[in-house]
């Protein structure tokens, strides 16, 4: 049977062979962590501590503010050095709590394992997702509990776990599925119970045959669960694409997965939920792929949140040569960073170091109307026109051509022979449209 997929998309150089076979190594906790209060989409958490306070491992140090928000927890025990602004790789500024490690890893005494999900009510499970600080670990970092509280009149029938990991070079989810398949499956079952879903699907690209095998073994013939093998294609892991491929359902323009009865979570989010239920330890660490031709020894590392990316690079032997670009996340969607003090946060899936030769490009030129960008856009948009409208400042026309449906996958930029910065232009225009909407109320 042909693996399932969607229309459009691209086949970039995947580069996953550098790390897909490497087991997850645990990076020792650093001397200091920096924990931003805005590690998730929605309202930043509000700090609960001040400089001079002593905190324990897993202690809540930032309280969720509002419904679309999650708490932040201490990833080491030690002394709070400061509470103040830091810049984030996406260009935003967030208040962050900086903690100096006392080396004791003293666990917060009030942490208690919630226990077997089957003994907990769906309502309690939804509360626990929030208490665990769960926000999507695939990169978007949307608070998990919000997805499990659908609006009036909508219901969840299927939970899809996203194990596609379609971004080139990243293998953190792949390794997690291979090494911790049972935990992923337990997390899926707990999520299904929380949402009242009858069906759970783990969607994985076929280039991860060992992960598919491990997951199939872990679901052990459970009739409610299945593994959906998907074609290896970018952006297969994008929410709407994965739903279309795994279930054949189409999320309407401007709509959400819940409009077709589905919630999509990353496999790492499911595993973190299973961990929390079993141990009571909230989300304080994650697996990060450190890779690329510019790094000496690429690795998959389990790291404490708040660890500076410099520490991860040191653990991988440092730069192989003077780097061309350091990207937080994958090459298609991750932002390039210009210093190495940025901390690992809940959505940090990778650190990619590209060599100078890889980033050497040429000047952007005029559109030659080749149509390649149109052919690859998974949303059937006209990226060439959208970018033109963006350059002209013609926001009305851009909106009329569906610019807000762009999911910023970067396929159009990737294939453009004129090296037009299509996604960047579109992203900027979207930002202006959103600002205009906010202004007009």
Indicate whether 377 belongs to the interface with ligand SF4 (CB under 6 A): yes
Q: Which of 93, 113, 357, 368 binds ligand SF4 (CB under 6 A)?
A: 368
Select the span of 38-46, 210-218, 287-295, 402-410 touching ligand SF4 (CB under 6 A).
402-410
8 Å CB contact between 95 and 83: yes
Select the span of 22-30, 243-251, 390-398, 419-427 touching ligand SF4 (CB under 6 A).
419-427
Indicate whether 411 belongs to the interface with ligand SF4 (CB under 6 A): yes
8 Å CB contact between 43 and 282: no
Residue from 282, 261, 267 nearest 186 by CA: 267
| Strand partners of residue 301 | 25, 288
Indicate whether 425 belongs to the interface with ligand SF4 (CB under 6 A): no
What torsion, rounded to 10 degrees, do the Cα atoms 151, 157, 159, 164 define? -110
Select the span of 180-188, 247-255, 355-363, 380-388 touching ligand SF4 (CB under 6 A).
380-388
Q: Which pairs count as long-range contacts for 392-397, CB under 8 Å and 24+ apart, including other chains?
A: 395/429, 395/432, 395/433, 395/436
Calculate the CA 398 to chain-centre distance: 28
Q: Which of 301, 412, 425, 429 binds ligand SF4 (CB under 6 A)?
A: 412
Angle at 139 between CA 388 and CA 82, to 5 degrees: 110
- Tell me whether residue 209 or residue 365 sits nearer to ligand SF4 (CB atom): 365
Indicate whether 409 belongs to the interface with ligand SF4 (CB under 6 A): yes
200-219: contacts with ligand SF4 (CB under 6 A): none
62-121: contacts with ligand SF4 (CB under 6 A): none
Query: Cβ-count burial of 22 within 10 angstroms (0-12 exposed, 13-18 middle, 19+ buried)?
Result: middle
Indicate whether 431 belongs to the interface with ligand SF4 (CB under 6 A): no
Indicate whether 420 belongs to the interface with ligand SF4 (CB under 6 A): yes
Select the span of 69-77, 247-255, 301-309, 375-383 touching ligand SF4 (CB under 6 A).
375-383
Select the span of 104-112, 332-340, 378-386, 392-400 touching ligand SF4 (CB under 6 A).
378-386
Residue from 351, 282, 414 nearest 12 by CA: 414
Indicate whether 58 belongs to the interface with ligand SF4 (CB under 6 A): no
Select the span of 43-51, 153-161, 266-274, 400-408 touching ligand SF4 (CB under 6 A).
400-408
Indicate whether 262 belongs to the interface with ligand SF4 (CB under 6 A): no
Indicate whether 379 belongs to the interface with ligand SF4 (CB under 6 A): yes
Closest approach, Cβ 143 to ligand SF4, in A, equals 24
Indicate whether 372 belongs to the interface with ligand SF4 (CB under 6 A): yes
Indicate whether 357 belongs to the interface with ligand SF4 (CB under 6 A): no
Indicate whether 369 belongs to the interface with ligand SF4 (CB under 6 A): yes
Tokens (6 digits) for 145: 């509990």
Closest approach, Cβ 406 to ligand SF4, in A, equals 3
Site residue total, ligand SF4 (CB under 6 A) = 28
Query: Which residues of this chain interact with ligand SF4, rule CB under 6 A?
Result: 367-373, 376-377, 379, 381, 383-384, 406-412, 415-418, 420, 422-423, 426
């Amino acid at each position: 049977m042909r693996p399932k997929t969607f229309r459009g998309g691209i086949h970039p150089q995947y580069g996953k062979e550098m790390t897909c076979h490497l087991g997850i190594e645990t990076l020792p906790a650093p001397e200091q962590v920096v924990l931003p209060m805005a590690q998730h989409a929605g309202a930043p958490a509000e700090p609960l501590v001040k400089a001079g306070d002593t905190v324990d491992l897993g202690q809540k140090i930032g309280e969720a503010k509002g419904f679309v928000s999650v708490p932040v927890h201490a990833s080491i025990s030690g002394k709070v050095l400061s509470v103040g602004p830091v810049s984030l790789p996406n260009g935003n500024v967030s208040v962050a709590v900086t903690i100096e490690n006392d080396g004791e890893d003293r666990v917060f005494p009030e942490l208690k394992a919630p226990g077997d999900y089957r003994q907990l009510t769906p309502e309690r499970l939804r509360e626990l997702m929030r208490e665990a600080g769960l926000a999507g670990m695939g990169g978007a970092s949307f608070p998990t509990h919000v997805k499990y509280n659908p609006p009036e009149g909508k219901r969840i029938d299927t939970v899809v776990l996203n194990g596609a990991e379609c971004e080139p070079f990243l293998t953190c989810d792949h390794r997690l599925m291979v090494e911790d398949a049972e935990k992923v499956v337990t997390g899926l079952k707990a999520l299904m119970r929380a949402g009242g879903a009858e069906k759970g699907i783990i969607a994985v690209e076929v280039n991860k045959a060992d992960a598919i095998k491990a997951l199939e073994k872990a679901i052990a013939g459970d009739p409610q669960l299945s593994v959906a093998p998907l074609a290896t294609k970018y952006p297969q892991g994008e929410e709407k694409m994965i739903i279309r491929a795994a279930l054949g359902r189409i999320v309407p323009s401007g709509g959400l997965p819940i409009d077709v009865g589905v919630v999509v979570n990353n496999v790492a989010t499911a595993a973190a939920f299973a961990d929390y239920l079993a141990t009571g330890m909230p989300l304080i660490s994650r697996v990060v792929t450190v890779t690329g031709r510019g790094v000496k020894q690429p690795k998959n590392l389990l790291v404490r949140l708040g660890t500076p990316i410099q520490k991860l690079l040191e653990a991988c032997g440092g730069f192989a040569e003077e780097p061309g670009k350091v990207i937080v996340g994958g090459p298609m969607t991750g932002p390039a960073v210009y210093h190495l003090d940025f901390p690992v946060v809940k959505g940090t899936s990778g650190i990619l170091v590209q060599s100078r030769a890889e980033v050497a490009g040429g000047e952007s030129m005029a559109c030659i109307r080749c149509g390649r960008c149109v052919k690859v856009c998974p949303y059937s948009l006209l990226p060439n026109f959208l970018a033109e409208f963006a350059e002209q400042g013609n926001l009305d026309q851009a909106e009329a051509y569906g610019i807000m449906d762009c999911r910023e996958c970067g396929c159009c930029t990737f294939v453009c022979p004129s090296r037009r910065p299509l996604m960047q232009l579109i992203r900027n225009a979207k930002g202006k449209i959103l600002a205009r909407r906010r202004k007009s109320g």
